[in-house]
Structure 1
Amino acid sequence: MTQMTIGRRSLLKWSAATLALAGCADVNYDPPAAAVAARFDGTAPARTGNRMWWTSFRDSQLDQLITAGNARNLDVRQAVEAVNEARAAAEAIGANDLPGVDATAGAQRGNPNGTGTATSSSVGASASWVLDIFGANRNARRAAAAQLDAAYLSADVARLVMESGIANAYVDMRYYQANIALTQRSLESRRRSLDLTRTQFDLGGAARLDVLQAEQLVAEGEAQLPAYEVGFDQALARLATLTGQRIADLRPTLRRGSPQPRPRFSASVGVPAEVVRERPDVNLAERQYAAAAFEVGVAQAAFWPSVSLSGSISPTQVRGGNSITYWAIGPTINLPIFQAGNIANLKGAESRAVQAKLAWEQSVLNAIEEVESGLAAYNRDARNIAAQQRLVSTSSEAVELSRTNFSLGEGTFMNVLDAERSYLSAQQSLSAAERQRAADFIALSVAAAGRSTR
Structure 2
Amino acid sequence: MTRLTTKKVLAPVLALALAVSTPITAWSETLADTLVSAYRNSGLLEQNRALLRAADEDVAVTVSQLRPIIGWSADVTRGFGRNRTQGNGSVSIDSTDASFGLTAQLLLYDFGRTRLQVEAAKETVLSTRESLRSIEQQVLLRAVAAFMNVRRNSQFVSLRQNNLRLLRQELQAARDRFEVGEVTRTDVSQAEAALALAQSGLASAQGNLTRAIEEFVSAVGREPGNLQAPGSLPNLSGDVNAAKAVAVRAHPDIHSAQHDVAAADLTADAAAAATRPRIGLNARAGVEEEWGGSDYVRSGSVGVEISGPIYQGGQLTALRRQAIARRDATRGALHLARLQVQQDVGNAYADLRAARASREASQEAVRAATVAFRGVREEAQLGARTTLDVLDAEQDLLDARTNLISAEIDVYVAAYAILAAMGQLTAKDLNLAVQTYDPAAYYNLVKTAPVDISPQGQQLDRVLRALGKE
TM-score by length of 2: 0.75
Q: Does residue 135 of the first structure (1) align with residue 112 of the second (2)?
A: yes
1:234 equivalent in alignment to 2:211 = yes
Matched residue, 1:363: 337
Whether 1:407 and 2:381 are equivalent positions in the alignment is: yes
Q: Are residues 1:186 and 2:160 paired?
A: no
Q: Which moved more, 1:433-442 or 1:258-267?
A: 258-267
Aligned to 1:154: 131
**2:31 is matched with which residue?**
62
1:362 deviation in Å? 0.2
Give the match's secondary structure for 1:205: coil
Q: Which residue of 2 aligns with 1:351?
A: 325
Distance, in Å, in 2 between the alignment partners of 1:233 and 1:314 is 74
2:57 to 85, 88, 94: 88
**Paired residue type of 2:380:** F
Q: Does 1:79 align with 2:48?
A: yes
Where in structure 2 are the equivalents of 1:208-247 lying within 5 Å?
208-245=185-222
Conserved? CA contact 2:45–2:135, under 8 Å: yes
- Distance between the aligned counterparts of 2:425 and 2:391, measured in 1? 53
Greater CA drift, 336-345 or 93-102:
336-345
- Give the whole-Å Cα distance in 2 for the aligned partners of 1:106 and 1:421: 91
2:408 corresponds to which residue?
Answer: 434
Work out the CA distance in 1 between the residues paired with 2:172 and 2:425: 59
Give the Å deviation of 1:397: 2.5
Q: Structure 1 CA distance, aligned partners of 2:66 and 2:329?
A: 30
Residues 146, 219 of structure 2: 8 Å contact kept: no
Seen in structure 2, the aligned counterparts of structure 1 residues 441 and 129 have a Cα distance that, compared at 3 Å, is same
Letter in 1 for 2:236: A
- Which aligned pairs between 1:2-13 and structure 2 lie closer than 5 A? none
Task: Kindly report which structure 2 residues correspond to 1:370-409, keeping only aligned pairs within 5 A, or say none.
Answer: 370-409=344-383
8 Å CA contact retained: 1:175, 1:435: yes
Q: Is the counterpart of residue 303 in structure 1 residue 275 in structure 2? A: yes
How many angstroms apart in 2 are the aligned matches of 1:306 and 1:385?
A: 70
Root-mean-square deviation over aligned CA pairs = 2.9
Segments of structure 2 that go 5 or more residues without pairing to the other structure are 1-27, 84-90, 429-437, 439-470
Q: Which residue is equivalent to 1:274? A: 246
What amino acid is aligned across from residue 350 of structure 2 in structure 1?
A: A
**Structure 1 residues 122, 337: CA separation in 2 closer, same or farther (over 3 Å shift)?**
closer
Aligned partners of 1:278 and 1:451 also within 8 Å: no
Unaligned runs of 5+ in 1: 1-58
The worse-fitting range, judged by mean Cα deviation, of 357-366 and 278-287 is 278-287
* Contact 2:356 2:407 survives alignment (8 Å): no
Task: Determine helix, strand or coil for the equivalent of 2:330.
Answer: helix
Cα distance in 2, alignment partners of residues 411 and 305 from structure 1: 98
* Residues 248-302 of structure 1: per-residue CA shift (max 9 Å, x gap): xx1xx53x4x455465333368543321121111111112222221110121011
What is the aligned partner in structure 1 of residue 447 from structure 2?
A: none
Residues 116, 212 of structure 1: alpha-carbon distance in 2 compared, 3 angstrom cutoff: closer
2:66 partner SS: coil
TM-aligned CA distance change 1:222 to 1:262, over 3 Å: farther
Residues in 2 aligned to 1:61 and 1:83: alpha-carbon distance in whole angstroms = 31
SS in 1 for 2:55: helix
Contact 2:251 2:424 in 1 (8 A): yes
Q: How many residues align?
A: 388
Q: Which moved more, 1:422-431 or 1:380-389?
A: 380-389
Give the residue type in structure 2 aligned to 1:227.
S
Q: Residue in 2 aligned with 1:332?
A: 305
Distance 2:164 2:197 in 1: 9
**Residue in structure 2 matching 1:264, options 224, 227, 233:** 233
Q: Tell me the TM-score normalized by structure 1.
A: 0.77
Q: Is the 8 A contact 2:261 2:331 kept in 1?
A: yes
Alpha-carbon shift at residue 449 of structure 1 (Å): 2.1
How far off its partner does 1:133 sit? 3.0
Q: Give 1:441 deviation, angstroms.
A: 1.4
Q: Compared with structure 1, are the counterparts of its residues 115 and 200 closer, same or farther at alpha carbon in structure 2 (3 Å cutoff)?
A: closer
**Residue deviations 1:7-62 (CA, integer Å, cap 9, x gap):** xxxxxxxxxxxxxxxxxxxxxxxxxxxxxxxxxxxxxxxxxxxxxxxxxxxx9443
Task: Tell me the percent identity.
Answer: 23
Q: CA deviation at 1:356?
A: 0.6
Contact 2:114 2:270 in 1 (8 A): yes
Contact 1:262-1:438 at 8 Å conserved across structures: no
Change (3 A) 1:261 1:214: farther
Distance 2:346 2:122 in 1: 33
Q: Secondary structure at the match of 1:303?
A: coil
Cα distance 1:346–1:127, how it changes in 2: closer, same or farther (>3 A)?
A: same
